[in-house]
Amino acid sequence: MSLSLAGLWLAGLSFAGLWLAAVAAEADRRPRRILNRRRGAVVGEHSRNLARMEPGRLEVGRTATVWSAVTTADTAIALGSGDLPVLATPRLLAWLEAAACTTIGGLLDRSDSSVGTRVEVEHLAASAVGSTVTTTAELAYVDGRLLRFTVSAQDEHDRLLATGTITRVIVDRERFLGRLTPPS
């Protein structure tokens, strides 16, 4: 029996789909545990070697919440991302990133940091100056140096303002900065 390229491609997709379904089913069976909901709390001792990190230090399920008040400096007008006096999407993204960083705050060695590599956020509702925005990040996936967070933002009326995912990668600070090309 001979298979066409299309047949092989479909067979590969079927296998990939079954594999993804198995991975998702396994993820649903893993217990989730929230270790730290306080902003900036330090858990455990620092470890230089990521491969030898204590098991569970960067556990799926860790969360952090950051509260921010919307000021005129946070508006689309002030940041140049629009012409309305409402919370600017770039500022909201920064607050969501801050929540993600707070989730792992204190768990990395001082010589390590994390850098953002991908952001997928849907900004669902506007927020006026004076509003309080609560941004929350949950560590949803860990694969070595790769960290993926689910993020959300709500206002003081529990209205959902944004939802999405943020991907960050753990890097060695010195090596990362050493790769930068100086401006000419």
Is 89 among the residues known to form the active site?
yes
Alpha-carbon distances, residue 124 vs 24, 71, 82, 154 (angstroms): 27, 19, 16, 10
* Distance (Å, whole) CA 8 – CA 27: 28
Beta strands across the sheet bearing 160-172: 63-69, 132-143, 146-155, 160-172, 112-123
Q: Which of 88, 90, 89, 95 is nearest to 39 (CA)?
A: 95
Query: What is the identity of the amino acid at 35?
Result: L
Please identify which of the residues 65, 89, 134, 150 carries the catalytic annotation: 89
Please identify which of the residues 46, 65, 123, 165 carries the catalytic annotation: 123
For residue 128, the SS3 value is strand
Is 97 among the residues known to form the active site?
yes
* Distance (Å, whole) CA 91 – CA 129: 13
Please identify which of the residues 63, 75, 97, 138 carries the catalytic annotation: 97
Active site residues: 89, 97, 123
